[in-house]
Amino acid sequence: MSAIITDQLRILNAKNFVSAATSSSNSYYAFVGLTNATDYSSGWESNPPAPKDSFDQENDYWDTMVALKKIKVSDVNQVVRKITWSSGTIYDMYRHDISRTNTSKPSGATSLYSANYYIINSDYKVYICLQNGTDPENPSGRPSLDEPTFTDLEPKAAGDSGDGYIWKYLYTIKPSDIVKFDTVNFIPVPKNWETSTENAAIRNNAAASNNQLKIITITNRGVGVGTANRTYTNVPIKGDGTGGKATIVINNDSKVESVTISSGGSGYTYGTVDLVGGNVPIGTGLNGTPTFNVIIPPKGGHGADIYRELGAYNVLIYSRIENDLENPDFITGNKIARVGIVENPQTYNSTSLLDVDKASAVYALRLTGIGYSSTTFTTNSRFTQTISTGTTAVGRVVSYDQNTGVLKYWQDKSLAGFNTDGSQNSSPTYGINLNRFTSSVGTGGTTFITGTNLYIDKTFTGVYFNK
């Protein structure tokens, strides 16, 4: 049996992720890692391989992780596609019936959320297009000439050019959200739309309108309709709702000149203009009867649920990765090729959730001895320590700080003879165990790092976390 993941499920998943990531009972972190990407693919920088979805790959994410940055409540936001208003552009209009068999015009989009039916203006105000000038002569709409700038609660035209556009104001992006979430491709939607006092006026207006109809478009003007130069009022709109009425203006050629909603009614999920019930004489000939398209607003009305109305099924996470002298967990002097998010890591040797702003995800040693301030280590190179007779610890260099003598490193299965594809070398150089570096060596061991005059400082401790 075929199945489809609907856009509404995607929106729900996005809302659930934001809720989980901002909950005080959880702890989410952004991480960087994989300093040795070319070991996986020589062409990683020009053509990185697709991620692998397996438990083995997940373990590799942890093994090659370098540092983490806490994701705060203000760092997570649902976002929608960025569609910037530009004069002369023909935008799509909101329609409830866009599908593969009834595409949006002019874009040809096969779903509402892939249509260009809303915009952000130059003042970071967001509007939905309820009418784009569509009529029988312009079935794909007309160019937009007037940039909307108003904040009125009811839909209206943006200027006096006569471009035919009707816009509905939705919200203004806050400066703090512009800094974090306004990108080339996405803009943020307000947090907590259902309860936020900042957007209460928009929500209350939607509730007060009680899902009223706002727009009817003409698809055929008809021929010989009614009486020339006459306006017919209170023409009923039939459907599953009640109270909807339209005003129809007949021009000098006995064709429909315009149609507007005079009473929005309520409860409609479909509707049609009842010409007979409105005492509008039907036209003559094959195409004599005029036809209309009654546009059904989203459930609750325009502005009731901004996430459903704009299709906010993407989430953007803001995490500024930077190093500082007080907490230098984000290393410099090496590359990283992997970024990601982890949920609820634990502090080292504890079941408590990690809750610091930054954390190191690698092992670290402090080296001391003659020349520690001038010694260099090649990034990603191997270094070793004999911890007892016949037993060697091996690590790979992440970074070395000549000022502090701190050597950061990682250990993964590649050091025990496993290749990046999961295959194993039957005779690894240092055996199949990943022995830890230590300042408490056994018989035959030494605290010196092999090939150097530097030894491990016994007083140094690092802060780690549990996977």
Nearest-CA neighbor of 386 among 437, 336, 341? 437
Summarize pLDDT for 153-184 with one digit per residue, the tens.
999 999 999 999 999 999 999 999 999 999 99
CA dist 366 → 260, 404, 411, 434, 452 (Å): 77, 7, 17, 20, 14
Q: What is the total residue count of the chain?
A: 467
If DSSP codes are grouped into helix, strand and coil, which group holds residue 143? coil
Task: Give, in degrees to the nearest 5, the angle at Cα 185 between 322 and 303.
Answer: 115
Alpha helices (H) in 324-406, listed in sequence order:
none
Per-position DSSP letters for 437-463, written without gaps between them: P-SS--TT--SBPTTSS-EE-TT----
Cβ–Cβ contacts within 10 Å for residue 197, how many?
8
Q: What is the CA radius of gyration of the chain?
A: 32
φ, ψ of residue 49 to 5 degrees: the values are -70, 160
Pairing of strands 314-317, 76-81: antiparallel
Residue spans of the domains in the chain: they are: 215-295, 363-466
Distance CA 311, CA 104 (A): 16
Distance from the first to the final alpha carbon of the chain: 39
Nearest-CA neighbor of 462 among 384, 381, 416, 401? 401
Distance CA 271, CA 265 (A): 11
If DSSP codes are grouped into helix, strand and coil, which group holds residue 192? coil
DSSP 276: T
Cβ–Cβ contacts within 10 Å for residue 249, how many?
15
CA dist 49 → 34, 44, 157 (Å): 13, 7, 49
Distance CA 92, CA 140 (A): 8
If DSSP codes are grouped into helix, strand and coil, which group holds residue 195? coil
Q: Are 109 and 103 in contact (CB under 8 A)?
A: yes
Beta strands in 251-371 (DSSP E): 256-266, 271-273, 291-295, 314-317, 338-343, 346-347, 358-360, 363-368
**Cis ω for the linkage preceding 106 (within 30 of 0):** yes
Distance CA 333, CA 382 (A): 17
CA dist 163 → 85, 97, 143, 147 (Å): 14, 24, 7, 11
Mention every residue, 6+ apart, whose C-beta is less than 8 A from residue 179: none
CA-CA-CA-CA dihedral for 347, 352, 356, 362, to nearest 10: 10
Q: Are 395 and 410 in contact (CB under 8 A)?
A: yes
Summarize pLDDT for 395-439 with one digit per residue, the tens.
999 999 998 899 999 998 888 888 777 778 777 888 888 899 999
Alpha carbon 98 to its chain's center: 23
What long-range pairs does 46-53 form, CB within 8 A, spacing at least 24?
Answer: 48/337
- In order along its 467 residues, the chain shows pLDDT tens digits of 556 789 999 999 999 999 999 999 999 999 999 998 888 888 888 888 888 888 988 888 998 999 999 999 999 999 999 999 999 999 999 999 999 999 999 999 999 999 999 999 999 999 999 999 999 999 999 999 999 999 999 999 999 999 999 999 999 999 999 999 999 999 999 999 999 999 999 999 998 887 899 999 999 999 999 889 999 999 999 999 999 999 999 999 999 999 999 999 999 999 999 999 999 988 776 778 999 999 999 999 999 999 999 999 999 999 988 776 666 677 778 888 999 999 999 987 888 999 988 888 899 999 999 999 999 999 999 999 999 999 999 999 999 999 889 999 999 888 888 877 777 877 788 888 889 999 999 999 999 999 899 999 988 765 444 44
Nearest-CA neighbor of 405 among 373, 448, 434, 383? 373
Which residue(s) pair with 346 in the sheet? 353, 466
Burial of 194 (0-12, 13-18, 19+ CB in 10 A): exposed
